[in-house]
Amino acid sequence: MVAAAAAALAGVAHADATPDYSLTNSIPLGSPDRWDYAVFDGPTMRVYVAHGERLTVLDARTGELIGQVEGIAGGTHGTAISDREGLGFTDDGEKGEVVAFDLKTLKIIGHIPAGADADGMVRDPATGHIFVIEGDPGTVTVIDPAQRKAIATINAGEKMEYAAADGQGHVFVAGEANSDVVEIDAHTNRIMARWPAPNCRSPHGLALDKAGQRLFMGCANARLMVLDAHSGHVVADLAIGSGSDAIAFDPVRKRVFSSNGRDGTVTIYQQISADEYTVRAPIRTAVSGRTMTLDPATGRLFVIAADTDPSSTPGGRPHIRPGTVRALIYDPVQ
């Protein structure tokens, strides 16, 4: 474990060191000026960006705009891809429904009732089902993409944020209200365990090291929790930047990332072993860059950000300059 004294704020630690990533492209996404999760999908080599009332789709290799899934008036948040069915799923959070779209045409082909405040979502590889996290009501709607319908509702009893699946039939969800991780059995759609993370306030982002069986959870109090995915034990408590909303893990380079919207940084930790981590030089992104995704094969990072007004209220969300939303692409240089 990294000692607390050694884990200086990762957003500023090693600020003079040579960065491990360089900005290689900046893709204008334009209006609307709202966005949320970005999701990389390997089989389609695409990045799906929740972008207000639409889902913006980028080519992960070139950064070029492929198209839009349009007509989602209540606003999108999460995305899950079911390549086997040739379908993608996103949400209309205001309407409390999941929107199914065709991966080839990007046309909406169905609406599936879900819970209010539908938000993040993840596909479980073991069952093929889509797990939709509904924040305020504290529920999870389970969708069978082959049937294009909801098959279960799980009541977690607390407000939740992002989720991750291990491919072995376990889905993990960041429990924002109770500062814990909720473990779901994807085969029975039942809650198996709740693992507390006492020094984590309002967790949001969640990522998983499948080989090492470690969960990485970002917290609003600028901490990153590392938990054993079998026992739930917190094995490391690490400092990150302010305003973390997404966490990613690179299984090839063994690095953990936190995108920090208030600081305009990405904190990076190098995994030495499953329980040991050292901080690397942060990536300087842009204030507002709170969500991101990663291509694990290339190590490429996609950070979604916008230009901001310097007069934004300190401590609050920055004021976005209209029409400046963009995808910042960072490639590893070492």
CATH code for position 147:
2.130.10.10
266/289 Cα distance (integer angstroms)? 9
Residue 201 lies in a domain: yes
Q: Could you report the per-residue pLDDT of 115-148, keeping only the tens digit for each?
A: 988 889 999 999 999 999 998 899 999 999 999 9
Residue 286 lies in a domain: no
The answer to whether residue 16 scores a pLDDT higher than 60 is no
Instruction: Determine the pLDDT at residue 319.
Output: 87
The 3-state secondary structure of the chain reads: CCCCCCCCCCCCCCCCCCCCEEEEEEEECCCCCCCCCEEEECCCCEEEEEECCEEEEEECCCCCEEEEECCCCCCCCCEEEECCCCEEEEEECCCCEEEEEECCCCCEEEEEECCCCEEEEEECCCCCCEEEEECCCCEEEEEECCCCEEEEEEECCCCEEEEEECCCCEEEEEECCCCEEEEEECCCCEEEEEEECCCCCCEEEEEEECCCCEEEEEECCCEEEEEECCCCCEEEEEECCCCEEEEEEECCCCEEEEEECCCCEEEEEEEEECCEEEECCCEECCCCCCEEEEECCCCEEEEEECCECCCCCCCCCCCECCCCCEEEEEEECC
Residue 243 lies in a domain: yes
Structural domain count of the chain: 1
Q: How confident is the model at residue 11 (pLDDT cuts 50, 70, 90)?
A: very low
Instruction: Determine the pLDDT at residue 334.
Output: 73
Integer angstrom CA distances of residue 79 from 48, 88, 115, 160, 318: 7, 7, 16, 16, 25
Q: How confident is the model at residue 309 (pLDDT cuts 50, 70, 90)?
A: confident
58/49 Cα distance (integer angstroms)? 8
Tokens of 99: 């929107």
Instruction: Determine the pLDDT at residue 17.
Output: 62
Instruction: Determine the pLDDT at residue 3.
Output: 35
Over range 194-201, report the average pLDDT. Answer: 97
Listed residue (190, 152, 160, 148) closest to 77, CA to CA = 160
Contact yes or no for 199/225 (Cβ under 8 A): yes
Residue 230 lies in a domain: yes
Residue 158 lies in a domain: yes
Share the mean pLDDT of the chain. 93
196/309 Cα distance (integer angstroms)? 38
Compute the half-sphere exposure of residue 334: CA atoms within 13 Å on the CB side of its CA. Answer: 7
Residue 85 lies in a domain: yes
Instruction: Determine the pLDDT at residue 15.
Output: 40
pTM score: 0.93
The answer to whether residue 12 scores a pLDDT higher than 70 is no
The answer to whether residue 10 scores a pLDDT higher than 70 is no
The answer to whether residue 9 scores a pLDDT higher than 70 is no
Compute the half-sphere exposure of residue 176: CA atoms within 13 Å on the CB side of its CA. Answer: 19
Which residues is 122 bridged to in the sheet?
131
Instruction: Determine the pLDDT at residue 163.
Output: 97
The answer to whether residue 13 scores a pLDDT higher than 80 is no
42/298 Cα distance (integer angstroms)? 11
Instruction: Determine the pLDDT at residue 312.
Output: 55
Over range 1-9, report the average pLDDT. Answer: 37
Expressed as residue numbers, the domain containing 254 is 36-260
Q: Could you report the per-residue pLDDT of 239-259, keeping only the tens digit for each?
A: 999 999 999 999 999 999 999
First to last CA, the chain: 25
Listed residue (6, 11, 9) closest to 266, CA to CA = 11
Residue 328 lies in a domain: no
Question: What is the edge-to-edge ordering of all strands in the sheet holding 223-228?
Answer: 203-209, 214-219, 223-228, 234-239
Instruction: Determine the pLDDT at residue 310.
Output: 73
Residue 9 lies in a domain: no
173/192 Cα distance (integer angstroms)? 12
Q: Could you report the per-residue pLDDT of 62-74, keeping only the tens digit for each?
A: 999 999 999 999 9
Over range 51-56, report the average pLDDT. Answer: 97
The answer to whether residue 14 scores a pLDDT higher than 90 is no
